[in-house]
Amino acid sequence: MEIYVALKIIWAVLLGVLLTGLAVMVGMDMGVGTLLRFVGKNDAERRTALNIIGPHWDGNQVWFILGGGAIFAAFPTLYATSFSVFYVVMILLLFSMIMRPVAFEYRSKVDAKSWRATWDWAFLISGALPMIIYGAAFGNVLEGVGFHYGWTGQYYQDESFLSYLLNPFAVMCGVMSLSLSIYQGGTFLMLRGVEPIYSRARLFASCGGLLAAVIFAVGGLWVSHLNGYVFTGAVNPGMAATPLGGPAVAVHAGAWLNNYNNHPILWVAPVLGFVGMLVGTLALRLHLKVLGWWLGAVAWAGTISTVGIAMFPFLMPSSTNPSQSLTVWNSTGSAYNLGWMLFFAVVFVPVILSYTSWAFYVMRGKVKTETIVNDPHSY
Amino acid sequence: MPLIDPTVVDLSRLQFALTALYHFLFVPLTLGMTMLLAAMETTYVITSKQVYKDMTQFWGKLFGINFAIGVATGLTMEFEFGTNWSMFSHFVGDVFGTPLAIEGLMAFFMESTFIGLMFFGWDRLSKPAHLAITYLVALASNLSALWILIANGFMQDPEGASFNPDTMRMQFNSFVQLVFSPDAQAKFVHTSIAGFVTGAMFVMGVSAYFLLTNRHKEFAARSIRMAAVFGLISTLAVVTLGDALGRLDDLLQPTKIAAIEGLWHTTTSPSAPWLLAALPNDKTQSNSLEIGIPYVLTPLITHTLDKPIPGLIDLESAAGPKILNGIKAINALQQYSTTHDAASLAMFKQYEDDMGYGFLAQQNAPNQDLNAITPAEMPAVVQQTELDTVPNVFVTFWAFRIMMFLGFYFIALFAFMAYFSLKNQLENNRFLLKLCTISIPAPILACEFGWITAEAGRQPWSVYGWLPTFQAASSHSVGYMVFSLIGFTLLYSLFIAAELYLMFKYARLGPQSHDHAAPVAGTGALPMFAKPGFAAKSWE
């Protein structure tokens, strides 16, 4: 196999890893933010919940930033097109994301009811909205997006933002993503929290896990009737990365299941997703919190790889000009760039994972309300 | 292919400038404060004196208020290239995105993970371990600046990539050239040390306020001494590095240096004056009310006594042949994009280096179509485009001067403060102390004008010589842009109000020694932001 093709495939896999890391770590923060008003009935409880995630939200958020940077570098045309085509929701995503760091740092620094209540709402919005948008992006991409390119590679949008904002399938994917984040956030609150936060978080997390499993099943049935995209022209995986002049692409209902039908072993991905959600929920019922947390990560990995496998090699199909669809073959960076990026990823990802684990280890143990309200460094 | 609506381009530029300038209000203080915090904590670990721990924690709290909003607004920047500059992202993502991704992997992850431990780990880590964390945060925030400025350096002086007609974009081909681009390296040191100046002024100004109000005197005196010396050395370094950057611009971006100096005509004799002030007029291409110092300009810019410095009007004429070549290059490239024939490729290769000037000419071509220019129309198109090759002189000239005058003011202020601090005569100089307090925002202002000098002076290019700014934007509707601009303006205004309110509140409150504070209602040390009443209330 050509080196360039191998690099493209490696980066497609790394894209999946990145999206999974983002979903697990940022999703966990978002889940805590969404649940804040519900697991904490008074100010002291809410501060306790906030300080459970307090030492980690900033590090976790870098997954989101790295997501932006890595897609920019490894899939420049995908970055350029998807962020612009989804402009309205991307901007809403940014608005809600930028509220969060400020909310963490500022909420407890003023002792006034209205001030804190305002920031608590900011946590709810900035927790729930990004997760819904995150899931909805997957839904929209599965359905195909209206865009085409001019000869210089400039994109042109062919559909109104309403069509991807008010898309029932995408909204359903958004709710699933929110459910998984509530599962992950709730599980982390159980790990570090004491009563009454613990029991409330357990209830929400269990509901999140079950709801996600139901939507995952419904989504699977929906996708089996959804229009999928298939190459009909000759495909050259080592092609120069440009969406212009690519092979012909046809649209068939149910085509997203082709990869599964051709390679039945791949069904392991959705199975993993279900195992994560269902066994995870069971684990929480049995108070097996650490196992539950890791099964939440498995649920995300299963879900995201299910979508990735269904679409491979498509990344963002064009519904209005299918032959200009973005794929793993036509939207990556150059071989030289992918090589350098791979080098940095191989060196730094293990380093990042080790110090992140160490940070969680240092801050291990239950977070108690009495220490929070007396600790000058707490949120 | 039609151009993007100029209103959309202008609104996209406005939004980028607003969000970047706003983000950059907080970045320099972060860069400087992490270094100062590391220095303070080092002194604490060595001397074991409580006052240095109090210093680290107090300044750390103010740092935290600033850092949160810096992180929040930085999110916007990482995504805005994609949301608003899609052609730019497509055109240079292969080389420009890479330093941004590496920044995330190498620096930002480290900074953000350890900042949690820095704030929350005081009781969980040993003294040396906590100190190590603080150093890692300082290192990471400056590494972060390095990679961001490597990316910016590519926009100023595109090195390490070449255009590939098969993918219609610049492709990365030399990691070494990208990373060791002289512009990026000089700008990195200039910018991060400007951050140190900002941090030093902040610490000095707040401490001066304590001296003026007769509070925390020992704490303030120690903070001032550290900050004044650190600030003086840093400002001297910033000015030196600024000079090095100017020298590079003379070699790499002659239009920027001419705009900075308000230089319309090429200098012919070494007596050419360096302008202290002038009113450059971009319409008539001349200055009025010039006040200058003769014999300074040539040695300042060229580091020689006799080398001429090209003026803007001559630079415009010199662009004429490039524009002609650029039009040929773009026409050949468009042909090649459909036919993929060897002849048009060869034609393109012949004029490739000037292709950016072809992109620039598109706005002046009839129906915005370079293919449609008749030989009779060509001279007019070229002449019109020549005028488009230079930046706005008034803005560049004054942005640079404000930054530079402020720089020299900082040298004087830090020098005086260091002198009086070492002689223990600070409290007698109330005027100087007041000056320090009101000067807190001045270095931030200088940083903002530095950014304007660098980026406004780079116009009309988003990637110097290759991609004009008006070609780089996303093809949005005006409605989209109005929606996002209103949202950013509202949110950012609320944030800055909250930020300033908290900064003033906690700066006024002053440092509190947790280890010696009186216990409150039997619950341990006095919480810094939970008032005793509140702490008791939440217990019930």
Element (H, E) at B494: helix B478-509
Angle at B393 between CA B388 and CA B397, to 5 degrees: 155
Widest CA span of chain B, in angstroms? 91
pLDDT score of A174 more than 80: yes
Residue of B nearest to A87 (CA): B83
- B527: distance to nearest CA of chain A, Å? 5
Contact B69 A102 (CB under 8 A): yes
Cβ pair B118, B130 in contact under 8 A: yes
Nearest CA distance, B515 vs chain A (angstrom):
12
- Name the residue of chain B whose CA is nearest to A74's CA: B94
Supply the mean pLDDT for chain A.
90
- Cα–Cα distance measured from residue A171 to residue B295, given in angstroms and rounded to the nearest whole number: 69
Task: Tell me which DSSP letter residue A241 carries.
Answer: S
pLDDT value at residue B527: 36
How far is it, in rounded angstroms, from Cα B365 to Cα B382? 9
Q: Which residues of A touch B125 (CB under 8 A)?
A: 362
Which spans in B157-216 are helix H?
A: 175-179, 182-212
Contact B79 A68 (CB under 8 A): yes
Tell me the domain boundaries of chain A. Answer: 3-374
Chain B residues lying within 8 Å of A348, measured CB to CB: 105-106, 109
- Which pLDDT score, from 0 to 100, does residue B514 have? 52
Residue A41: closest C-alpha in chain B? B538
Nearest-by-Cβ selection for A359 from B116, B175, B527:
B116
Minimal C-alpha gap between B481 and chain A (Å): 9
* Residues A342-368, mean pLDDT to the nearest whole number: 88
**Residue A280, min C-alpha distance to chain B (Å):** 27
- State both tokens at B172: 């990365």
pLDDT score for A153: 86
pLDDT digit string, tens, across residues B464-515:
999 999 999 998 989 999 999 999 999 999 989 988 888 888 888 888 765 4
Instruction: Please indicate whether, in this complex, the C-beta atoms of A66 and B108 are within 8 angstroms of each other.
Output: yes
Of B121, B454, B404, B419, which Cα lies nearest the Cα of B274?
B404
Q: How many CB pairs under 8 A join A and B?
A: 304
Residue type, A290: V
CA A192 centroid distance within chain: 23
109-138 in chain B: CB under 8 A from chain A: 109-110, 112-117, 119-122, 124-125
Answer whether B535 sits within 8 Å of A373, measured CB to CB.
yes
pLDDT of residue A52: 87
Residues of B in contact with A95 (CB under 8 A): 487-488, 491
Q: What is the DSSP string of B22-49?
A: HHHHHHHHHHHHHHHHHHHHHHHHHH--
Nearest residue, CB atoms, A340 vs list B57, B98, B534: B98
For residue A131, the distance in angstroms to the closest alpha carbon of chain B comes to: 16
How close, in Å, is residue B531 to chain A by CA atoms? 8
Residue B300: Cβ within 10 Å count: 16
Instruction: Test B68 with A98 for CB contact under 8 angstroms.
Output: no
What pLDDT score does A296 carry?
Answer: 94
Q: How far apart are CA A337 and CA B98, in angstroms?
A: 7
Q: Which of residues 439-468 of B touch A (CB under 8 A)?
A: none
Closest partner residue to A98 (CB to CB) among B73, B340, B480 is B73
Residue A157 and residue B475: Cβ atoms within 8 Å?
yes
Q: Which residue of A has its CA nearest to B102?
A: A344
CA B291 to chain centre: 29
What is the DSSP pairing of strand B274-281 with strand B286-293?
antiparallel
> Residue B95 in contact with residue A333, Cβ under 8 Å?
no
Exposure b/e, A297-313, CB count within 10 A at least 16 = b:
bbbbbbbbbbbbbbbbb
Contact across the interface for A55 and B71, Cβ inside 8 Å: no
For residue B513, the model assigns a pLDDT of 60
Using DSSP bridges, classify how beta strands A314-316 and A155-157 pair: parallel, antiparallel or unpaired: unpaired
* Chain A interface disruption, residue of B113, B478, B484, most A CBs within 10 A: B113
Indicate the residue of B89, B164, B476 with minimum beta-carbon distance to A72.
Answer: B89
For the segment A334-346, the average pLDDT, to the nearest whole number, is 93
- A31, A127 in Cβ contact below 8 A? yes
**pLDDT at position B531:** 36
CA distance A339 to chain B (A): 11
* Contact: B530, A108; criterion CB under 8 Å: yes
Residues of A in contact with B74 (CB under 8 A): 65
Chosen from B61, B67, B71, B148 to mutate, greatest number of chain A CBs within 10 A = B71
- Low-confidence residues of chain B, pLDDT below 70? 1, 513-540
Inter-chain CB proximity A100 and B72 less than 8 Å: yes
How many residues are given for chain A?
379
Average pLDDT, integer, range A305-323: 92
**Facing A95 at nearest CB: one of B71, B116, B491:** B491
Tell me how close the Cα of B172 comes to any Cα of chain A, in angstroms: 6
Phi, psi of A147 (to 5 degrees): -160, 160
Per residue, what are the HEC states of A2-22? CHHHHHHHHHHHHHHHHHHHH
Of A135, A128, A118, nearest to A34 by C-alpha is A128
pLDDT at site B198? 93
Q: Do B84 and A155 touch (CB under 8 A)?
A: no
CB contact under 8 A, A64 and B502: no
Within the 486-515 window of chain B, which residues sit less than 8 Å (CB to CB) from chain A?
487-488, 491, 495, 498-499, 501-502, 505-506, 512, 514
Chain-chain contact of A109 with B94 (C-beta, under 8 angstroms): no
A-facing residues of B in 31-70 (CB < 8 A) are 57, 64-65, 67-69
Provide the shortest C-alpha distance from residue A110 to chain B (in Å): 7
pLDDT computed for residue A162 by the predictor: 80
- Distance of residue B365 Cα from the nearest chain A Cα, in angstroms: 17
Return the bridge partners of A250, or none.
A230
Of B75, B125, B505, the CB nearest to A362: B125
CATH topology of domain A3-374: Formate dehydrogenase/DMSO reductase fold (1.20.1630)
Question: How is residue A260 written in tokens?
Answer: 């599964």
- The tens digit of pLDDT for each residue in A119-147 reads 889 999 999 999 999 999 999 999 999 99
Which chain A residue's Cα is nearest to B532?
A: A374
Q: Do A106 and B65 touch (CB under 8 A)?
A: yes
Residue A150: closest CA among chain B residues belongs to which residue?
B1
